[in-house]
Amino acid sequence: MPGRARGAIGADTEHDSVVLPHYTQPVPYDPLSDEQREIRDLVRTLARERIAPRAEEIDKAAEFPWDMVELFREHELFGLPFEEEYGGTGTGALMVLVAIEEISKVCATTGLILAVQELGSLGLKLAGDEDQKQRFLPRLASGEWLSAYALTEPGSGSDSAAMRTTAERVGDEYVLNGSKRFITNAGVADLYTVFAKTDPEAGHAGISAFVVEASAPGFEVGRIEPKMGIKGSTTGEIFFNDCRTPAVNLLGEEGDGFKIAMRILDRSRPGIGAQGLGLAQGATDYALEYARSRETFGKPIAQHQLIAAMLADMETKCEAARGLLYKCGLMIDEGAPADEITKISAMAKLYCTDAAMDVTTDAVQVLGGYGYMREYPVERMMRDAKITQIYEGTNQIQRLVIAREMLKENRAFLLAGVG
């Protein structure tokens, strides 16, 4: 592709300036194509050489890392979630998950930048018409614009029907009034996928979806929250005070909003699973290297049975999570039925993020007192991991979703002949 930066996705790697190191670790089986492995190796190299050295400072400063956005632009990482016709790479959902995983091994805040670019654009990809896609997707694929997803409100989290933000049709515009809370990328996004009630009395059926530009009259960013983890990512309030957005920015039809929101979450939850998996694997790798070098009672602590058992459990959880996550990515790419995607995405998000919390906690324990100190990254990883169990649908909600889908399935034939 002409004009691509050296080292960018799709560039001619024969004369590329990035020299990939020799990996001595065994490479586990994976379902990636040769092209996808090349992209993974590029992302892995960028993560180690460019992102990892910034991770501690991003956490300490608690400021949005615009230099990481520029790095993504330079190497065309923002193109991963998009089709080629809109300026993307067309490499599929699995590749996005792999990239988020690799980045999150060293910096979960930076991994979230890519995950939210996918989240904030899915409404357009799933429900937008061609004019909407042509107007917005190329800007998102290039990274010129960042995106966000605005569903949650102060009194409406898991219960979307309780939202109070309204949208009223006035001529060729919709006028929005209300607020959203805990919005990732608040204040840095250029484009928001917003959900509001066009029929306040109709519950879920009264919710509609819109794309709203940050420059829209009446749009305002409120408080940016100080957080326990992912401190470099902005999380904040947004307000709609007679905010006007063109009627052509309605996604689908009036009343389609709840269905669109659920379809989006089915495909965005795996991205948080990938963030969780990256945190878990990064913490495992760091704890392993520490356990090899730290000696007690005359030998490395990795050779003590209790530590060895912890490391084994950590690695097993990571590999099990990866299998579930990659299966989810493949199913999305292969066009699996919607109900199957709903179930597998909830399972992947649930397992990967529970593993993230378990494994990062164990990594702190392996390092002992050092693990509790900010000088070592596992402390940050543990703080970052907690939010993965909460946003994009709490893990309690994921369990409800999985059980609900199970109850729809007919497994009676499996019991035939069982006395």
288-to-294, 357, 365 alpha-carbon distances in Å:
10, 17, 12
* DSSP 8-class letter at 153: B
Are 263 and 251 found together in one domain? Answer: no
Sign, Cα dihedral of 14, 19, 24, 28: negative
CATH code assigned at 249: 2.40.110.10
Would residue 334 count as lying in a domain? yes
Would residue 20 count as lying in a domain? no
Last residue within a domain, chosen from 142, 166, 192: 142
230-to-64, 184, 269, 341 alpha-carbon distances in Å:
10, 10, 17, 28
Are 42 and 152 found together in one domain? Answer: no
Whether the per-residue pLDDT at 51 is higher than 70: the answer is yes
Hey, how many other C-beta atoms are within 10 angstroms of the C-beta on 361?
17
Hey, how many other C-beta atoms are within 10 angstroms of the C-beta on 36?
18
Whether the per-residue pLDDT at 190 is higher than 70: the answer is yes
Rounded to an integer, what distance in angstroms lies between the CA atom of residue 183 and that of residue 149?
7
Are 294 and 207 found together in one domain? Answer: no
* pLDDT band at residue 11 using 50, 70 and 90 as cut-offs: low
Question: Using one digit for the tens of pLDDT, what is the confidence trace for 169-189?
Answer: 999 999 999 999 999 999 999
CATH code assigned at 322: 1.20.140.10
Rounded to an integer, what distance in angstroms lies between the CA atom of residue 325 and that of residue 327?
5
Six-digit token pair at 252? 């689908």
Taking residues 304-329, report their average pLDDT: 97
Q: Are 325 and 344 in contact (CB under 8 A)?
A: no
Determine which of 2-6, 40-44, 302-306 has the lowest per-residue pLDDT on average: 2-6
Would residue 390 count as lying in a domain? yes
Which pLDDT does position 20 carry in this prediction? Answer: 40
Taking residues 58-75, report their average pLDDT: 98
Are 91 and 108 found together in one domain? Answer: yes
Would residue 70 count as lying in a domain? yes
Would residue 11 count as lying in a domain? no
Are 51 and 103 found together in one domain? Answer: yes
Are 128 and 240 found together in one domain? Answer: no
Are 308 and 372 found together in one domain? Answer: yes
The β-bridge partners of 173 are 170, 246
Which of 346, 196, 322, 202 has the alpha carbon at shortest distance from 266?
A: 346
Are 106 and 244 found together in one domain? Answer: no
Last residue within a domain, chosen from 142, 158, 177: 142
The number of distinct structural domains making up the chain is 3
**What is the signed CA dihedral for 255, 258, 261, 266, rounded to 10 degrees?**
-130
Beta strands in 122-206 (DSSP E): 147-150, 166-170, 173-184, 191-197
Taking residues 225-251, report their average pLDDT: 98
Are 165 and 135 found together in one domain? Answer: no
> Residue 7: which H helix or E strand, with range?
none
Taking residues 305-330, report their average pLDDT: 97
* Residues marked as catalytic: 392
Domain range for 117 is 25-142
CATH code assigned at 94: 1.10.540.10
335-to-166, 195, 269, 273, 332 alpha-carbon distances in Å:
34, 26, 17, 20, 5
Are 264 and 405 found together in one domain? Answer: yes
Last residue within a domain, chosen from 84, 108, 142: 142
Which of 203, 243, 241, 236 has the alpha carbon at shortest distance from 221?
A: 236
Rounded to an integer, what distance in angstroms lies between the CA atom of residue 316 and that of residue 259?
36
Would residue 188 count as lying in a domain? yes
Are 249 and 277 found together in one domain? Answer: no
* pLDDT band at residue 416 using 50, 70 and 90 as cut-offs: low
